[in-house]
Every structure is written in C-alpha cells, then in structure tokens.
C-alpha cells in the first residue's frame, strides 16, 4: 500500500490514486550539463494553458520512434514544483534508439487505458507482445522531446485540455499521447525496493504532470490508478543518477568584480541597479552590526557570522548562494539557485532602499535558514533567508 494514502482500500471498485505517492528517494551525483541550461521564466499564475500540442489520434498499435541521442534529464533548479532531492539538475544522458507505445496499454484509442495492475502484471503484458516495460529515462525522453518540454504538450500545463476530452491533445513533441496526463504510469526502474512511477491522474496538481516529476509506489500493489506503456529496442544501460550530500553551509568569498558580473547575469538583480556603486562588506561590518544591537559575537557562539557569500544547501539536492552587499540604491540581500553550468537563477532578493547600512550573514543549527542582520536582533533590521516546505526561498524581516 502506498505509504501516504491513509484509508485506501485495495478492494475498492475504483483504483486508488497514487498522486500522494512517496517521492523517489535520494539519487547519485549528476554530471553538469555540457551546454547552457535554457532558463524558462516560471509559468504565470493565470490558470491552465489554452494552447497545447495536438496530434491526430493514431491507429491501434501505433509506435513512436525515438532516435538515439542525448537529452537533459531532470529539471532546472528553481522550477516550480521541482523536488531537488530526487530530480537531476538537467544532466546530459545518452540513450539508444527505442520505440514507445503511442498510448498507454493496450495502445488502442478505442479502448480505455488498463489500470489497477501490479507492475509484474504490466511487465508480463508487455512481454506477451514481444516488448518490455519502459524505463523511466525512456519515459522522460519521450515526454520532453528533443527540446526539453516541461510538460507533455508544452512548457505549461494544459489542465482539463490534457486530462480529458480528445486523446490527441497534449501530445509529447515526439507524438506520444496521454503521457501521464490522465493516469500515472509504471516504469521498470526501482529505488529502495519501490517502483518509480511517472505522470499523474487527471485531477492531480500541475507539478506532478511535469515530465521530470518522479515518485514511487509499491510494485506489488494492485488496484492503483496506474497504467503503463511498452517500449521496444535494447533497454538503456544507464540508470537515474544520484546526488551526493552537501554541507549545509559553506563560505564562498567573492570579489566585487565577481559579484558585479553575477548581478549582470541575473535580470531580477540587474533591474535593481545593484552594480552602481557596488561594494562588498569588510569583516569589520560584523562588529558594526553587533554593536548596533548592543551585543558581541562572543555572546552568540551558536552562530557563525560572515560577510562572505554563503553556499547553502537547505535540503538534500539543493544548492543556493546567499550574498549581501551595498550599492548606491541601498544595502541588499539576495538568494540565487546555483545552476550546474555555473550560472545563477534568481530565488529571492531584498533591498533596504536608500539605507546603505552594514549587513552580516549568519548560520547555525537551523539548516533551513540563513540569518541576515544590520542590527543584531533589532526589530525590522534583522531577518532570515528561509527555505519553505514548497521548496521556495523567502527573505523576511523580523
């Protein structure tokens, strides 16, 4: 039984939904991409897309041929709904050519998708057709297409357009239909004795429909709202890479010139004109911050205080740079996702407009926050860079 589905009966006449299934466990280290990551702005919160890819509905038994080649596995740090603990950072992986069923089993537009089977039964059904259950890498490659689409059907979720109605809506760029838009799907891969599943049911939240989303279910569980599709060709030898654990906090000294170049590369910071009159704080700024709060560093051994940028891993798989500086417009604090190709993506920023005060950063036992302060423990002049349960970053005053 799915560990997070309390009260679901295996004997229900309707298969249980796996949409609250356990996220896939931690993964091995990924290799950085060899080409720049295409940065997409987060989708605007305007509801489901009304423009999705549509293909003609294929005949029964139709196959989609995927050529051999590499693709970017996983998601970009900072993507809405991304789970950094289980999704690779757009690692380039090479797959051999393969074919994938155009539709979930039985791959016939005149019949509903089979659901409620155990994974073993799904594997047997594919084998009886001279094929095999798809690997999760093949599934993601067919979903994304060569351009790396975020969702089947495009870079925004089509909502009801994808989840119901015409089968040809929300086709993947390669022409596979219903790729996790109406039901989650088994894959042949395991992690920690659980099976990796991809996609989600029609009523699931949009992030679960991302091509990169990974979750798990018990492979022996029958009666779940899970379907599957079959693949052909030599199975890939590569498995999903895993991340290594990072230290929660690491100081990373940077010069003003390096920070200036960084700001120029991040549009959200460049718009604030932070490069004008840019200066990084010197170590004596820490004493200034503590003096303003009528205290000393020695009275707070639970914290490490610094004026250097801090590489921060608030949760497994996440890598964020937190830094503070002074510009003509005022002092500021910024948090940026570190991308595996060496660039940065804006997570959050905070500007003390027209107030060029000294700022120090501090970290301690609480892994999910970095403290910032211009006056230690002074109301409104002290706060934190916090990591939320939704895997987002907020900079707050206290």
Q: Output phi, psi for 142, to 5 deg.
A: -70, -30
Nearest to 336 by CA among 352, 351, 320: 320
Q: Output phi, psi for 269, to 5 deg.
A: -85, -40
pLDDT of 21: 55
Query: Edge to edge, what strands does the sheet with 344-353 contain?
Result: 249-251, 310-312, 320-327, 330-338, 344-353
Residues of the chain below pLDDT 70? 1-51
pLDDT of 161: 87
pLDDT of 17: 57
Q: How do residues 188-234 score in pLDDT, each as one tens digit?
A: 999 889 999 999 999 999 999 999 999 999 999 999 999 999 999 99
Q: How do residues 269-309 score in pLDDT, each as one tens digit?
A: 999 999 999 999 999 999 999 999 999 999 999 999 999 99
Beta strands in 213-254 (DSSP E): 215-217, 226-227, 230-232, 249-251
The pTM score is 0.83
Give me the domains of the chain, ranges plus CATH numbers. Answer: 1-244 (3.90.1580.10), 249-397 (no CATH)
Q: Tell me how far apart the alpha carbons of residues 202 and 225 are, in angstroms, rounded to a whole number.
A: 10
Q: Tell me how far apart the alpha carbons of residues 185 and 25 are, in angstroms, rounded to a whole number.
A: 18
pLDDT of 263: 98
Question: Are β-strands 91-95 and 184-191 bridged in parallel, bridged antiparallel, or unpaired?
Answer: unpaired
Q: Is 365 left (phi over 0), alpha (psi -120 to 50) or beta?
A: alpha
Question: Are β-strands 330-338 and 63-66 bridged in parallel, bridged antiparallel, or unpaired?
Answer: unpaired
How many secondary structure helices (H) and strands (E) does the chain include?
6, 20
- Report the SS3 class of residue 289: helix
Q: Tell me how far apart the alpha carbons of residues 128 and 131 are, in angstroms, rounded to a whole number.
A: 7
pLDDT of 42: 43
For residue 208, the 8-state DSSP code is G
- How far is residue 47 from each of residues 155, 157, 202, measured CA to CA in Å? 13, 9, 15
Q: Tell me how far apart the alpha carbons of residues 62 and 176 are, in angstroms, rounded to a whole number.
A: 10
Instruction: Take residue 127 and report the two structure tokens written for it.
Output: 């084998």
Q: Tell me how far apart the alpha carbons of residues 38 and 42 are, in angstroms, rounded to a whole number.
A: 12
Q: Tell me how far apart the alpha carbons of residues 36 and 117 are, in angstroms, rounded to a whole number.
A: 41
Q: Concatenate the DSSP letters of all residues of 7-20 into one string.
A: T--TT-SSPBP-TT
Q: Tell me how far apart the alpha carbons of residues 173 and 80 are, in angstroms, rounded to a whole number.
A: 21
- Report the SS3 class of residue 370: strand
Check: CB of residue 17 under 8 Å from CB of residue 201: yes
């Amino acid at each position: 039984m799915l560990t997070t589905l309390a009260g679901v009966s295996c004997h229900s006449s309707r298969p249980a939904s796996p949409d609250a299934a356990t996220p896939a466990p931690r993964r091995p280290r990924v290799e950085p991409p060899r080409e720049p990551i295409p940065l997409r702005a987060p989708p605007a919160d305007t509801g489901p897309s009304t423009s999705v890819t549509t293909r003609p509905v294929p005949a029964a038994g139709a196959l989609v041929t995927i050529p051999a080649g590499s693709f970017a596995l996983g998601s970009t740090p900072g993507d809405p709904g991304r789970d950094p603990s289980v999704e690779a950072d757009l690692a380039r992986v090479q797959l051999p050519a393969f074919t994938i069923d155009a539709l979930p089993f039985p791959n016939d537009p005149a019949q509903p998708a089979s659901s409620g089977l155990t994974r073993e039964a799904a594997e047997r059904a594919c084998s009886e057709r001279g094929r095999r259950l798809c690997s999760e890498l093949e599934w993601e490659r067919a979903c994304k297409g060569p351009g790396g689409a975020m969702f089947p059907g495009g870079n925004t979720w089509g909502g009801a357009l994808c989840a119901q109605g015409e089968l040809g809506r929300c086709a993947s760029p390669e022409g596979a239909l219903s790729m996790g838009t109406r039901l989650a799907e088994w894959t042949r891969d395991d992690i920690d004795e659980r099976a990796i599943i991809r996609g989600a049911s029609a009523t699931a939240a949009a992030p679960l429909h991302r091509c990169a989303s990974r979750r798990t279910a018990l492979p022996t569980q029958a009666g779940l709202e899970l379907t599957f599709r079959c693949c052909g060709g030599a199975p890939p030898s590569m498995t999903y890479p895993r991340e290594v654990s990072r230290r929660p906090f690491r100081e990373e000294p940077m010069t003003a010139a390096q920070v200036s170049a960084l700001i120029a590369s991040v549009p959200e910071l460049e718009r604030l004109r932070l490069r004008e009159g840019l200066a990084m704080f010197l170590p004596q700024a820490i004493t200034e911050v503590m003096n303003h709060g009528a205290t000393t560093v020695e009275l707070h051994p639970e914290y490490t205080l610094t004026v250097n940028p801090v590489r921060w891993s608030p949760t497994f798989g996440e890598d964020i740079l937190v830094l503070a500086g002074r510009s003509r417009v005022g002092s500021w604090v910024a948090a940026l996702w570190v991308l595996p190709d060496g660039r940065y993506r804006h997570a959050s920023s905070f500007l003390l407009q027209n107030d060029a005060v000294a700022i120090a950063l501090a970290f301690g036992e609480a892994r999910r926050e970095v403290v910032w302060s211009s006056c230690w423990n002074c109301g409104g002049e002290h706060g934190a860079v916090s990591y939320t349960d939704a895997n987002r970053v907020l900079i707050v005053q206290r």
